[in-house]
């Protein structure tokens, strides 16, 4: 597949993945009828490629379960992962749904990657990767050698081998699918023997990005998918419904309709081998229900109808003040582990916004504590301007007086002082104008419609900027339109989540996304990183050097230099920290969930991304 078409299709995947992060779902307390707060939507009819209705029942069930009802004491109910009827369970599709969607390769209940990424264990010597289908990996020159677990097998009983792994990587080379980026990193991927995989990196390649693929690429059964690739064209492969998915993971799809998806534990799962988990997951069933909005999910959760949700639930402390057995990962504010920067990105070609001093005045004018309190319900720590997240694992910087002097905080008077120093005088309407006649305004602040916390943050930013003499207003297009504006550079100021996935390449991937201009097209052409086309030759050099540097002292030196460039040039501003997934549990049926006090090495990811799947082996039925 040629690079140009691949980039076009990657936009589709990016839009689909963005939509999947908005939240939602439901359940019940004894046995599960239709969700009490979900949409009363009619069943959708499946259609064929020519638009005609198919004979297939929209409630297709691999196991024939009537109405998706399962015993409550054997079922785990999840919220925030289903917003519409399941289009397919195909990891190669842009419209695949939980539990097989793999825009970031992390959903591993059915299709497992070679290793599990663990956000909470990034200092374990393997960039936070833990064994799964792969037992260990090492470098021999440009060759990444992966040893595979001989106990591993697919849910149909076929052994998992290095041939399956090589085939899975090859799919990314042959087609434009969510893990096609691996094809730009590896020159070839081969099975040395049944249990040894050799991934040969391109000359001068990025080891961090190479390692990242070990936790992203879902392992596909060659004996099932190779015949399909021989029979179908690329568009057909990506559209293939795959309603009875076969993977190496601990669950299979038992039932689905337009209101729910029910997964059944595979009691022959290879992971109960002593070389892996040593037992089966606790829940026999995992059910995800469809909801229309966060409000419905939050009502069901508060009623104990859900066991775990990733919906944005404001003021969670009110639930436990009322006596509900609700827990978050952290006991106190911010309650959730920060894993993502949410930023305000400037269009660096707009008059006024192309001035770093104007951007610095904006940075001082924003009331960050108010955003945390009102928009994020207190779920964000105090902002420390940086390319880095605040937790210890990303403290790569040498703090010095220069760095401290470059940082900003909310200080309205300082913002006014900077603007006055620029000679930006208020006009008759109160909007400031630079000496060259540039009016500091007519700017739109943009984020996706429906992102309630983002919208609230933008309203605060708009109010703050108006107070010091900027002319701004907020705009809320649909998420697909926002993605297009961002990638084409057609915005004034826009909210973003730079490199919002969590993986072993952080913080490098985030720094590269924000600061690296290499390979990024001009505004008006589609860009998947660096949306405002920030350009600094030294920043690009540092990013490249960091990608091949393994010495920690050198890394710290380079990250420090890069962060100072960021603080001087201010290409974007962090408004809040967010978790990768909101993680809130209701211990009415299942207890012993991971928290900072209980199994703190298990990451708090609702969808059981990466090493979060280990929670399924620690939770217990309430006695």
For residue 349, give every residue at least 6 positions away whose Cβ sits within 8 Å of its Cβ, in sequence order, or none.
Answer: 489, 523, 533
Residues found in the chain: 623
Whether residue 30 is predicted with pLDDT greater than 50 in this model: the reply is no
Residue 321 lies in a domain: no
Pick the range with the lowest mean pLDDT from 7-21, 375-389, 522-536. Answer: 7-21
Burial of 248 (0-12, 13-18, 19+ CB in 10 A): buried
Q: How many domains does the structure of the chain reveal?
A: 2
Question: Quick one: average pLDDT of 67-76?
Answer: 93
Residue 333 lies in a domain: no
- Higher pLDDT residue, 180 or 60? 180
β-strands 590-591, 308-309 pairing: unpaired
Q: ∠175-19-511 over CA atoms, to 5°?
A: 75
308, 211: one domain = yes
**pLDDT 10s digits, 412-423:** 999 999 999 999
- Higher pLDDT residue, 33 or 538? 538
Question: Quick one: average pLDDT of 505-520?
Answer: 90
Whether residue 605 is predicted with pLDDT greater than 90 in this model: the reply is no
362, 448: one domain = yes
Domain hosting 404: range is: 340-578
pLDDT of amino acid 84: 81
410, 262: one domain = no
For residue 68, give every residue at least 6 positions away whose Cβ sits within 8 Å of its Cβ, in sequence order, or none.
Answer: 32, 59, 61, 255, 256, 257, 259, 260, 262, 287
pLDDT of amino acid 32: 36
pLDDT class for 100, splitting at 50, 70, 90? Answer: confident
Q: Widest CA span of the chain, in angstroms?
A: 77
283, 408: one domain = no
248, 363: one domain = no
CA gap 288, 308 in Å, rounded: 10
pLDDT of amino acid 49: 33
> Residue 63 sits in a domain of what CATH number?
3.40.190.10
616, 512: one domain = no
Q: Give me 101's structure tokens.
A: 């969607």
Residue 320 lies in a domain: no
pLDDT of amino acid 410: 98
pLDDT of amino acid 7: 39
370, 396: one domain = yes
Residue 209 lies in a domain: yes
CA gap 222, 191 in Å, rounded: 13
For residue 308, give every residue at least 6 positions away whose Cβ sits within 8 Å of its Cβ, in sequence order, or none.
Answer: 76, 77, 78, 79, 583, 584, 585, 586, 593, 606
Question: Quick one: average pLDDT of 83-107?
Answer: 78
pLDDT class for 41, splitting at 50, 70, 90? Answer: very low
**pLDDT 10s digits, 164-173:** 999 999 999 9
- Higher pLDDT residue, 277 or 92? 277
156, 272: one domain = yes
413, 484: one domain = yes
CA gap 118, 127 in Å, rounded: 9
Whether residue 620 is predicted with pLDDT greater than 90 in this model: the reply is yes
Whether residue 611 is predicted with pLDDT greater than 80 in this model: the reply is yes
Question: Residue 192 belongs to what H/E stretch?
Answer: strand 186-193
Q: Give the sign of the dihedral formed by CA 401, CA 403, CA 405, CA 411.
A: negative
Residue 319 lies in a domain: no
Residue 334 lies in a domain: no
Residue 588 lies in a domain: no
Average pLDDT, the chain: 86
Pick the range with the lowest mean pLDDT from 42-46, 68-72, 238-242, 436-440. Answer: 42-46
Residue 324 lies in a domain: no
> Residue 445 sits in a domain of what CATH number?
3.10.105.10
23, 116: one domain = yes
44, 116: one domain = yes
95, 169: one domain = yes
pLDDT of amino acid 6: 41
* Residues 612, 104 contacting (CB under 8 angstroms): no
């Amino acid at each position: 597949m040629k690079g140009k078409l691949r980039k076009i299709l990657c936009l589709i995947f990016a839009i689909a993945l963005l939509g999947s992060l908005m939240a939602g779902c439901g359940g019940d307390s004894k046995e599960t009828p239709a969700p009490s707060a979900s949409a009363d939507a009619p069943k959708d009819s499946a259609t064929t490629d020519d638009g005609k209705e198919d004979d297939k029942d929209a409630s297709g069930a691999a196991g024939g379960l009537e109405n998706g009802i399962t015993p409550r004491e054997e079922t785990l109910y999840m919220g925030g992962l289903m917003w519409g009827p399941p289009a397919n369970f195909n990891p190669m599709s842009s419209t695949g749904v939980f539990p097989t969607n793999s825009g970031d390769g992390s959903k591993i209940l059915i299709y497992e990657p070679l290793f599990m990424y663990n956000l909470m264990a990034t200092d374990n010597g393997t960039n936070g990767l833990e064994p799964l289908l792969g037992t260990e990996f090492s470098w021999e020159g440009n060759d990444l050698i992966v040893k595979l677990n001989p106990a591993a097998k697919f849910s149909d009983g076929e052994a998992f081998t290095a041939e399956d792994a090589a085939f899975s990587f090859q799919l990314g080379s042959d087609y434009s699918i969510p893990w096609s980026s691996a094809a730009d990193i590896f020159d070839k991927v081969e099975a040395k023997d049944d249990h040894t995989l050799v991934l040969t990196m391109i000359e001068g390649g990025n080891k961090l990005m190479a390692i990242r693929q070990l936790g992203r690429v879902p392992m596909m059964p060659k004996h099932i998918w190779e015949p399909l690739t021989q029979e179908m064209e690329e568009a057909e492969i990506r559209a293939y419904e795959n309603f009875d998915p076969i993977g190496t993971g601990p669950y299979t799809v038992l039932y689905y309709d337009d209101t729910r998806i029910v997964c059944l534990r595979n009691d022959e799962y290879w992971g109960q081998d002593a070389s892996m988990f040593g037992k089966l997951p606790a829940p026999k069933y995992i059910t995800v229900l469809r909801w229309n909005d966060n409000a419905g999910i939050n009502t069901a959760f508060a009623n104990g109808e859900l066991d775990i949700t990733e919906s944005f639930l404001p003021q969670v402390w009110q639930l436990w003040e009322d006596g509900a057995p609700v827990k978050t990962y952290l006991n106190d504010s911010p309650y959730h582990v920060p894993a993502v920067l949410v930023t305000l990105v400037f269009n660096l070609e707009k008059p006024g916004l192309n001035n770093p001093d104007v951007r610095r005045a904006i940075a001082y004018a924003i009331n960050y504590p108010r955003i945390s309190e009102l928009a994020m319900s207190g779920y964000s720590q105090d902002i420390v301007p940086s390319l880095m997240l605040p937790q210890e694992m990303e403290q790569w910087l040498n703090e010095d007086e220069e760095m401290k002097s470059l940082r900003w905080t909310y200080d309205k008077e300082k913002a006014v002082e900077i603007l006055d120093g620029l000679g930006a005088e208020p006009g008759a309407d109160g909007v400031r104008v630079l000496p060259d006649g540039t009016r500091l305004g007519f700017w739109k602040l943009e984020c996706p419609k429906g992102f309630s916390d983002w919208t609230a943050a933008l309203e605060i930013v708009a109010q703050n900027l108006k107070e010091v003499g900027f002319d701004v207003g907020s705009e809320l297009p649909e998420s697909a339109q926002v993605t297009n504006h961002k990638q084409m550079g057609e915005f004034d100021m826009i909210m973003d989540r730079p490199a919002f996935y969590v993986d072993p390449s952080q913080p490098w991937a985030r720094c590269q996304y924000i600061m690296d201009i290499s390979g990024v097209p001009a505004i008006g052409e589609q860009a998947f990183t660096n949306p405002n086309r920030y350009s600094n030759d030294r920043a690009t050099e540092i990013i490249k050097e960091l990608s091949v540097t393994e010495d920690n002292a050198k890394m710290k030196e380079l990250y420090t230099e890069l962060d100072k460039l960021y603080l001087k040039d201010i290409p974007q501003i962090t408004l809040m920290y967010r978790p990768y997934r909101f993680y809130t549990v209701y211990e009415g049926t299942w207890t012993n969930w991971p928290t900072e006090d209980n199994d703190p090495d298990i990451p708090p990811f609702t969808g059981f991304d990466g090493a979060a799947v280990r929670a399924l082996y620690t939770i217990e039925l309430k006695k």
